[in-house]
A and B are shown apart, each in its own frame.
Chain A
């Protein structure tokens, strides 16, 4: 059992180090194949661990002591329980698929080997994050994924936008991580331990306001990683990274770490339902907010990124309302179909020479049949049509909101479901249907490599069956750890009206999107309208941040640089150096090589030493008198 755990955890690290050996040399196919194979091994180990967990056996190991000083004892401990094994399965499945896909996608890239080193390092950090049994290990993984995300967003570092986006993501996450760190400190100060089980066991006996503070600070950390408002701008800009990165990190795994944290800390959030309501409200707001931005965007990857943001909002609604298993279930289902959607978008980008504007595409279903099928499948799953994955997970969140009597949240989420269906099929209609507008722009689309399509297929299958097949075994397994609450609308009439109503609403949205965008007519009047402009400019939030945070900060930095750094710090360092330099220049006459001069200086030295000797002798002889004089002067 322990061996399996270590295999699952460390094989991505081995893969990463292996690829790193080749990082500066030219493309070596083996640097992509070996990490992928090792990830597959990690997936197999996780799957075997899953069977053990399904039988009710959880594993907890303490690999070694990390810190042991005084009362502080932090081990490197790992646990495989019902929650972490779910995450491990999601992470290893999606990352194996993405690794193999990337072998094809990064085929012609100069940084092929470096890419796999970063990607596998990311998976390793993510596994540490989900498998750690204490907050310290979680934080290491948390920072590790942040670092790898930085390296992968800015992977094409010769592009200025890419490095800018990488830095933006990194800095925004640092702001949130500060809060997260404060939260962890609060947990340690008040419970005296960082182990999940012990810390959560101690929390019911703490002052309510302290638990609220812990919950709020930890949630701010989660907001940064999961790109919740107001820290959401980095996610859309992160699309500058290679598409496999977007699929793995910015759809399936890293951005869901915030949801994982809230799910993991469920005993704590159960104690503070008011914070839970805040989380749910913010989640619903973000779901709506991001979906509206996705409606009008003209960048394929950004549309999917906003969609991810919106779905993360759904997960937070579920988690905030105490339906932790529902949140985790949607996390899993979403990881499968969203990764598939991104990989499909990657195929389209390759075919279109990295063109991202769907208005320049159209009619691609002829040349890219399989990509079309899989992206449609993923979009149907995302829209939540029966019987695909999204129906079971997303509609469940709607039911949760309804059953918990949060009708405002329910309405917002229902509207968002319509928006989701609309923008998803706007994208599909623009890319794959209608006339072949890309011909005017001189593109010659071609389908991706066969093996890439084959490896996308498992995600396609999962997007179809994840809801239907996995729901009840998943529920049985995960509720051994999470609160076992079933959300049923007891009145069958209400239930059927809601279910069918939602389906009809979503299908109507899909049909509307098709009819409107099949021919990709650009409606000038709408585009010049106020709402369109607001949405297209992302509510002017990036401009707002630029104007009110970035510019003042830049000015402050410039003032500090010119006034403080140059005039005080640099000046004092230079001054000290100048003193030594001038002393040297002025005293080098002493060593002229002339014996007579040397002798004169020797005599000067002798006189000084003699004088000192006399002074000390006098002081020693009249010690008491000297001390009393100094005492009167106040020196002692």
Chain B
């Protein structure tokens, strides 16, 4: 069996981060955008936890908890807004939200 080391975790993080980034760029559905953001945040969390374990400093894991908490509240607010938006317009397509056009 191959030993699972820090670099595996970092590769996993990078892959997840790339998937999230592509999602953020390509998805037109607002709900999917939230999912992509969650993937981004959690890939960073994995990185934090792994490096924290590797260097024996718990600050990184603590930070991961903070991020989870912030992500949760962000999703709560975001979903609330999303529902209001859906009730008003009947869709959550990003291309229809261009009222901020300069």
User: Which residues of A does B touch, CB under 8 Å?
Assistant: 588, 591-596, 599-600, 603
Contact = CB atoms under 8 A, between A and B. Distances in A.
B102 interface: yes
A603 B25 contact: yes
B40 to A, nearest CB: 11
B7 interface: no
A588 B102 contact: yes
Interface stretch (B46-54, B56-64, B66-74, B91-99): B91-99
A593 B98 CA distance: 5
**Size category, B interface:** 10 to 19
B75 interface: no
Contacts of B87: none
Nearest to B21: A603
B38 to A, nearest CB: 15
Nearest to A598: B100
A596 B102 CA distance: 15
Nearest to A593: B101
A595 B98 CA distance: 8
Contacts of A594: 94-95, 97-98, 101
B39 interface: no
Contacts of B25: 596, 599-600, 603
A266 B25 CA distance: 90
A594 to B, nearest CB: 5
Contacts of A595: 94, 97
Contact of B101 (A591, A599, A600, A603): A591
Judged by DSSP, the binding face of A is helix
Nearest to B95: A594
Given A591-B101, A591-B102, A593-B102, A603 B24 contact: yes
B8 interface: no
A592 B94 contact: no
Contacts of B28: 596
Interface of B: 21, 24-25, 27-28, 94-95, 97-102
Contacts of A600: 25
A603 B101 CA distance: 20
Q: Per DSSP, are chain B's interface residues mostly helix, strand or loop, or mixed?
A: loop
Contacts of B27: 596
Of listed A592, A594, A596, A599, residue having the most chain B CB within 10 A: A596
Contact of B24 (A588, A593, A599): A599
Given A599-B24, A599-B25, A603-B21, A593 B100 contact: yes
Contacts of A588: 102
> 4 nearest interchain CB pairs?
A593-B101, A591-B102, A593-B98, A593-B100
A140 to B, nearest CB: 57
A593 B95 CA distance: 9
A596 B101 contact: no
A442 B25 CA distance: 95
Among B25, B97, B99, chain A packs the most CB atoms within 10 A around the CB of B25
Contacts of A593: 97-102
Nearest to B26: A596
A592 B24 contact: no
B21 A592 contact: no
Contacts of B21: 603
B100 to A, nearest CB: 4
Given A593-B97, A599-B24, 5 more contacts: A591-B101, A592-B98, A593-B100, A594-B98, A596-B94
Nearest to B96: A594
18 contacts: A588-B102, A591-B101, A591-B102, A592-B98, A592-B101, A593-B98, A593-B99, A593-B100, A594-B94, A594-B95, A594-B97, A594-B98, A594-B101, A596-B27, A596-B28, A599-B24, A599-B25, A600-B25
Nearest to B101: A593
A593 B96 CA distance: 10
B95 A596 contact: yes
Contacts of B100: 593
A599 B34 CA distance: 13
A131 B80 CA distance: 87
A592 B95 CA distance: 10
A596 B21 CA distance: 12
B9 to A, nearest CB: 20
Contacts of B94: 594-596
A399 to B, nearest CB: 90
Nearest to A601: B25
Contacts of A603: 21, 24-25
A601 to B, nearest CB: 10
A588 B21 CA distance: 24
Contacts of A596: 25, 27-28, 94-95
A588 B100 CA distance: 13
A256 B28 CA distance: 89
A595 B32 CA distance: 13
A602 to B, nearest CB: 9
Contacts of B102: 588, 591-593
A152 B15 CA distance: 85
Nearest to B93: A596
Nearest to B25: A600
Contacts of A599: 24-25
Contacts of B98: 592-594
Nearest to B28: A596
Contacts of A591: 101-102
